[in-house]
Structure 1
Amino acid sequence: MKVQNRRVISLLKIFHEKTTLVTSRYLAQVLNVSTRTVRSDIKELNDLLKTSGACIESKPSQGYRLRINHVKEYESFRRNLMGGYVGANIVPQEKNDRISFIIAHILLKSLHKKVVLQEALADELFISLSTLKKYLSEIKNSLARFGLTLETDRSHGVRIVGDEAKIRYCISEYVFSRNDLVDLSKNPFFATIFPAEELDVLKEILLKVVLKHNIHLTDVAFKNLLIHIIITLSRQDAENTVEYKQEEQKKLECSSYFRVAEELLEHIRQEVGVNIKNECYYLTQHFIASRKYIASDHVVQDCRPLLDEILRKIKQDTGVDLSEDEELISGLTIHLLAAINRLKFNMNIHNRILSDVKKNYPLAFEMAVLAGEVIEKEEHVHSNENEIGFLAIHFGASLERNRYNEEGGKTAIILCGAGLSTAMLLKAKLQRTFGSMLQIKEVMTSRKLTQSILDQVDFVFSTVPVNGFMSDKIIYVDSILTKKDLEFIHYRIKNESHSSIDYEQLIKRELFFQRLDANTVTDVLEIMTDRMMEKGYIDQKTKESIFARERLSPTGMEGMVAIPHAMENYMEDAAVSTAILSNPIMWHRVNVQIVFLLSVPKAYYKMLEPVIWKIYAKFVEQDGFHRMEKKRTFEELIDILREP
């Protein structure tokens, strides 16, 4: 299904996650458009929904909501729609999309050695030159996280400048890291760089070498390797070669993958006719970072001191002891070996489920933040939010196992393209949610599925496309199971608990801001933390930790809400400061108008997850934001949080 208006996708995502009516004003704030545009987009979405088993209902003076009449038809429509956005071929309307579009556009032009002139770029985007220049200043900030700069002049136009390896990682993220994580043929950019025939040849060469040397790769790892081969071929000029220090070269030459890379490049020379043997070190590095490690005794022993320090830090700061979870230790060992190699070589890795992990597993994410701190200190590397998100998957699976683990009932297998850790998290959450109703028989890649296996189970839960099989048993789910996914699975086969928290005791009246005037995230946090220090709820060290936590991973969420908090907190009591901003501000990449600043000491750390879930349920999924925006009173806030 082809859709040219990205906002329609965003609208469906909002309606899909909301359980209450939402107003056009709220939608306009979230999408950063006028209410008139929202009404036009809703009409467009309803036209698409006509044959989908669902529609957007309008309630006069109340708002809009999604009504699903036929779950199966709607789910099929939704997944097709999410995969059918053709934004690469049209001019994006949203600001963040335009920024990404411009970066991708410049990078693609660089692959073809073409100059990008500001005037031509402005014309292509249907914007003024002055508006484009405003975007360029924000693009510089986006590129800074890759260690790259944006240069502009009349003769050379707009170009991205920096270390070649970093430019390639930037190309990987902005050009290739889209929803088509497994089926590369669906990425429209490939057609502009490589003919389909050459792409097939490269895939065959890589597959042949990987199978010959018995290298175990996930579907996503295979795709990432192929992407970097394509990028390497596209930037084959001598001046675009990635350079390595002599010490780094010796280290890479000692790896068994150096010979594999040499063999791969020789096949490319013979079958594609391009000689890129000078890139052997670069591809060796990617083989090392992509492989699935085996947790042998000596590997576990080498990694154990780091693991022990991570688990000690988590126990110290959260009070949660995971040191006896052998499955966590094994999985984390395998993951860390690859992750540390990526970090040492400054290799970025795209984490498409990052926002879902942060939203659905807040406690696990905070554990991963602490782990990231330890890794930076012990391994002398710089961590990043994507890597932290992958670590959180392991901690989330461990927490799920400790809550519930029972087999029986209907049988199922899990197909996952993103790796064993993601699959194990899916398994743990399914077992926790459905208990004896569902037994997970096996976890595998989509390539291993056969008709015989399909016949032996009741369900197949897949996060990747399953080609060659037509069966009602196959249920597509997000890599991080969402509430809607669980509801649909429950609908197909046939529970949930809430913790008791005294929100009137937790949310402090003296820390409530009815109308806070601030223009930046820093301003908001300074005002709120100063008030908390003044009233004795936090000290200077906790304040610094709040800012450090925000720098590591922004806490803004969908639905105009942010939930900042400290990484380390040794105060005696838990407390929450709440601020309703006079006007929305940009909190990293999302608009925010309500801020919940949490001070949750170690003694109360298990409270963190249910509190964040409660805030998300009431203020993002339901109508809490609208109610607070209208009344702006402490009493209304408590009433909302008291509701079941």
Structure 2
Amino acid sequence: MATEDRRIVKMFYLLSKTGGYLKSNELAQMLQLSERTVKGDIEQLKIFTRENGGSLESVRGKGYCLKAVDPPRFQQAKERVEILFSNIDKGHKENQVYHIARAVMRFEGADEEGYFRLEQLADRLYLSPSAIKKEMPGVRDFLGSFNLSLPARPGKGIRLAGGEFNRRLCLLELYENHFRKRVVTFSDSAYEQAFADRDDKDQVRRSTLEILRASDNEVFDIYVNRLVDYLLLLRNRMKDGHSLELEGNQWTVWKKEIQRCREYKLARTLASELEHFPDFTVNDDEVTAIALLLLLWGDWDGVIGLAERFPTFYPQAARLSEEILEQLGSRWNIPIRQIDSEFAEKLIPGVLRILIQMHFNLSQCRLIGNSVSENAIQDSPVAMALADDLAEILTGICRKQINEYSVQLFAVSLYGLIDSISYPYIPRRILICARNGKGSAQAIADGICRRMGTGWIGKLTVSELYEARKYPFEDYDCLIGSFRPYAYRYSWPYTEVHPILQIQDYHRIYREILLKGYDLTSVLSLCRWDVVQVHKDFAANSIQAVLQLLAYQWGLDLACKEKLAAYLCEHHRIRIHRQILTVLIPACRTGKQIFEVYLLKKAILYKGDNVKAVLFAAVDFHGSPFVLRYLEHAVRYLSDRFEDLNPSLSSEYLMDTLTEIIRDNL
């Protein structure tokens, strides 16, 4: 794959990431090329796709779409390309920032005091000084999240300032993807050298995993390979003379705290094992730093005994969890305790981990890489919107920022809460007849009960077909029979099955009968929407313009409009999933319940994503768990089915369409 034209591979990546159709002009916009160039590359793209187990399909009016022909090979190609483009893309503003930050972290042309000029940096990166200066605010912001700075001195330039441990964390994150199989996405030999192994990475990884498994500690999966990369970085930094010395009054206190944790014992065991590898001689400060990483990256959901393990932080975490959920429930009118009376306790591990990160001034460290940018929890915009608000509440109380991955972990917990909600169900009243008599009908009834259970059945009557007419129509919801010609005689919905039930019969009964029992109509009525609108062929030049329009259309007065505009333009309020940009806010900010879909006349490129529609919802859940569950489903399925739904979406039938999609997916 490395020998392929990078542009072709990038086109493959964009199509696979979109999961739907992209037109040639949309691809051109995303690649910053002419449409003519893109069309000229299509044949090469077809060949590349075919060689990797897929096919490139073209549909007039919709664009191009990838399909799997050899699924295992196609999936393998997608995974490699996703790793390849997980971060570095010079056309993407944030990724240019990372590119410059990487060069700053490993700049080799500094003077004895560490100073260098931006012109030197520009020469090394083949960029103009003006281009570098333009990106420096973003670079400073990124480095600042790791408590690093770039102080300047007139006549000398800038230098990197900050502790060795913070530098290592920053270096580690800029390594960008921590897969077991490395796919290089940038060309920087000096930077790669910082993480170079001696053909012993697999052995280091194996030893690390064995020690982790044998311990009582828990670490998030996405951090395991990061930990291995950190150990390789540790060895190379020590070799280059950058040993870790945790000095100062603050670190004196912190070291004592860390060394009382069980993570320190694990770090000590790990350090002893590493001494079997070349140049892995670590001092006590290095062991303490490894223990701190294990603390920062701990996965404690469901772990018993956290109160005894963290006596200093646990009471505060418990109090904050209660306070956060109280405010979140009030903002959105969600009966959290009614859904799960123990949810505050379930939230404690996440809050506890963040409090520990805040204590060591590391909660804001930015995480990059597709483990964050491509996290599947983002498929639930409602869970993410609630998590954004939860994080905002926590930040307001603690006065410290938290990173995106911590927000996503809150979203995981909130999605679990939402997913535990069951829709109201009206048990089904079923009449069963069969052409071979009541014995055959009884066999069908017994098979249904045995295979599908009885909890969803309110009444089940076996009858001769001719006797069915004597039953009042309103006493039954449907008729199951084994001979289609009989069906026309009765008004009940008829489901035909084989006399000897087959697997497709159970699927048909599930779709046509069982699912109809979910009372989604009453749930929809609980939503009490004031506005449901689909705007087709909506013309807009930028997402910013759309957000400003929403604010000034729905703000209650001028002051509210301005506040709403500022609120909507906060970047974390905006989530993009499958080409739909979603903005969800509490209805208290608009005074109305609103569900609007703006189908853009022309796709807009926003932060590297191609946006074809904007969904705006101002929501009050009215104290109903069912409304929360319904909206999560509605927003997610609208995004998932957008390509198919787009042509038929209308204001009149939008909610009915979404309701039936929800029912079909239960």
Shorter-chain TM-score category? 0.5 to 0.7
1:10: how far off? 4.9
1:350 aligns with 2:367: yes
Q: Please say if residues 142 and 366 of structure 2, whose CA atoms lie closer than 8 Å, have aligned partners that are also in contact.
A: no
2:427 aligns with: none
1:230 aligns with 2:228: no
Alignment of structure 1 residues 68-107 onto 2, 5 Å: 68-83=68-83, 96-107=94-105
- Separation in 2 of the partners of 1:21 and 1:221? 34
Cα-to-partner distance string for 1:319-346 (whole Å, 9 max, x where unaligned): 4334354785665333333333223321
1:365: how far off? 1.7
2:632 aligns with: 609
1:450 aligns with: none
1:11 aligns with: 11
1:62: how far off? 5.5
Q: Please say if residues 182 and 219 of structure 1, whose CA atoms lie closer than 8 Å, have aligned partners that are also in contact.
A: no
2:198 aligns with: 196
- Separation in 1 of the partners of 2:634 and 2:565? 17
1:555: how far off? 0.8
Q: Given residue 100 of structure 1, which amino acid in structure 2 is its aligned partner?
A: Y
Number of aligned pairs? 538
1:392: how far off? 0.8
1:387: how far off? 0.5
1:82: how far off? 3.5
Distance change in 2, residues 1:263/1:589 (3 Å): same
Q: Please say if residues 6 and 87 of structure 1, whose CA atoms lie closer than 8 Å, have aligned partners that are also in contact.
A: no
1:24: how far off? 0.8
Q: Please say if residues 307 and 333 of structure 1, whose CA atoms lie closer than 8 Å, have aligned partners that are also in contact.
A: yes
Match of 1:287 among 283, 288, 294: 294
Match of 2:552 among 513, 530, 553: 530
- Separation in 1 of the partners of 2:652 and 2:8? 33
Q: Please say if residues 21 and 62 of structure 1, whose CA atoms lie closer than 8 Å, have aligned partners that are also in contact.
A: yes
Distance change in 2, residues 1:504/1:381 (3 Å): closer
Distance change in 2, residues 1:160/1:32 (3 Å): farther
Q: Please say if residues 314 and 371 of structure 1, whose CA atoms lie closer than 8 Å, have aligned partners that are also in contact.
A: yes
Match of 1:249 among 242, 255, 258: 255
Cα-to-partner distance string for 1:140-175 (whole Å, 9 max, x where unaligned): 454454454456899977754445444333222221
Q: Given residue 386 of structure 1, which amino acid in structure 2 is its aligned partner?
A: Y
Match of 2:353 among 305, 323, 338: 338
Q: Please say if residues 579 and 595 of structure 1, whose CA atoms lie closer than 8 Å, have aligned partners that are also in contact.
A: yes
Distance change in 2, residues 1:30/1:600 (3 Å): farther
1:395 aligns with 2:414: yes
Distance change in 2, residues 1:134/1:377 (3 Å): closer
Distance change in 2, residues 1:273/1:623 (3 Å): same
- Separation in 2 of the partners of 1:54 and 1:640? 36
Distance change in 2, residues 1:298/1:134 (3 Å): closer
- Separation in 2 of the partners of 1:375 and 1:4? 47
2:484 aligns with: none
1:368 aligns with: 387
Q: Given residue 530 of structure 1, which amino acid in structure 2 is its aligned partner?
A: Y
Cα-to-partner distance string for 1:456-501 (whole Å, 9 max, x where unaligned): xxxxxxxxxxxxxxxxxxxxxxxxxxxxxxxxxxxxxx98999777
1:473 aligns with: none
Distance change in 2, residues 1:391/1:587 (3 Å): same
Q: Please say if residues 150 and 158 of structure 2, whose CA atoms lie closer than 8 Å, have aligned partners that are also in contact.
A: yes
Q: Given residue 506 of structure 1, which amino acid in structure 2 is its aligned partner?
A: V
DSSP-derived class of the 2:217 partner: coil
DSSP-derived class of the 1:320 partner: coil
2:531 aligns with: 506
1:622: how far off? 5.4
Q: Please say if residues 4 and 86 of structure 1, whose CA atoms lie closer than 8 Å, have aligned partners that are also in contact.
A: no
Q: Given residue 405 of structure 2, which amino acid in structure 1 is its aligned partner?
A: N
2:476 aligns with: none
1:557 aligns with 2:572: no
Cα-to-partner distance string for 1:331-387 (whole Å, 9 max, x where unaligned): 533333333322332143737245544642122222322332343355554223220
Q: Please say if residues 22 and 623 of structure 1, whose CA atoms lie closer than 8 Å, have aligned partners that are also in contact.
A: no
DSSP-derived class of the 1:65 partner: strand
Distance change in 2, residues 1:342/1:87 (3 Å): closer
1:27 aligns with: 27
Q: Please say if residues 2 and 84 of structure 1, whose CA atoms lie closer than 8 Å, have aligned partners that are also in contact.
A: no
Q: Please say if residues 517 and 582 of structure 1, whose CA atoms lie closer than 8 Å, have aligned partners that are also in contact.
A: no
- Separation in 1 of the partners of 2:287 and 2:213? 19
1:266: how far off? 5.6
Q: Please say if residues 18 and 622 of structure 1, whose CA atoms lie closer than 8 Å, have aligned partners that are also in contact.
A: no
DSSP-derived class of the 1:557 partner: strand
Q: Given residue 50 of structure 1, which amino acid in structure 2 is its aligned partner?
A: R
- Separation in 1 of the partners of 2:452 and 2:334? 27
Overall identity of the aligned pairs, in %: 15
Q: Please say if residues 149 and 161 of structure 1, whose CA atoms lie closer than 8 Å, have aligned partners that are also in contact.
A: yes
Distance change in 2, residues 1:37/1:622 (3 Å): farther
1:307 aligns with: 321
- Separation in 2 of the partners of 1:369 and 1:527? 22
1:101: how far off? 2.8
Cα-to-partner distance string for 1:201-228 (whole Å, 9 max, x where unaligned): 6446645654665434454333233333
Alignment of structure 1 residues 438-457 onto 2, 5 Å: none
Instruction: Return 15-24 or 42-51, whichever deviates more.
Output: 15-24
Q: Please say if residues 23 and 62 of structure 2, whose CA atoms lie closer than 8 Å, have aligned partners that are also in contact.
A: yes
Distance change in 2, residues 1:115/1:585 (3 Å): farther
- Separation in 2 of the partners of 1:595 and 1:390? 25
Q: Given residue 181 of structure 1, which amino acid in structure 2 is its aligned partner?
A: F
- Separation in 2 of the partners of 1:353 and 1:508? 33
Distance change in 2, residues 1:156/1:233 (3 Å): farther
DSSP-derived class of the 1:173 partner: helix
Please, which runs of 5 or more residues in structure 1 have no aligned partner?
405-434, 438-493, 628-634
Cα-to-partner distance string for 1:249-292 (whole Å, 9 max, x where unaligned): 33223323334445544655675254443334422221222344
Q: Please say if residues 587 and 619 of structure 2, whose CA atoms lie closer than 8 Å, have aligned partners that are also in contact.
A: no
- Separation in 2 of the partners of 1:586 and 1:63? 16
1:388: how far off? 0.8
- Separation in 2 of the partners of 1:20 and 1:187? 25
Distance change in 2, residues 1:103/1:543 (3 Å): same
- Separation in 1 of the partners of 2:341 and 2:146? 36
Match of 2:179 among 181, 185, 194: 181
1:36: how far off? 2.9
1:475 aligns with: none
- Separation in 2 of the partners of 1:225 and 1:641? 48
- Separation in 2 of the partners of 1:291 and 1:15? 35
DSSP-derived class of the 2:383 partner: helix
Q: Given residue 101 of structure 1, which amino acid in structure 2 is its aligned partner?
A: H
- Separation in 2 of the partners of 1:67 and 1:151? 51
Instruction: Return 577-586 or 26-35, whichever deviates more.
Output: 577-586
- Separation in 2 of the partners of 1:297 and 1:277? 26
Distance change in 2, residues 1:368/1:337 (3 Å): same
Q: Please say if residues 94 and 138 of structure 2, whose CA atoms lie closer than 8 Å, have aligned partners that are also in contact.
A: no
DSSP-derived class of the 1:553 partner: helix
1:483 aligns with: none
- Separation in 2 of the partners of 1:138 and 1:512? 36
Q: Please say if residues 269 and 276 of structure 1, whose CA atoms lie closer than 8 Å, have aligned partners that are also in contact.
A: no
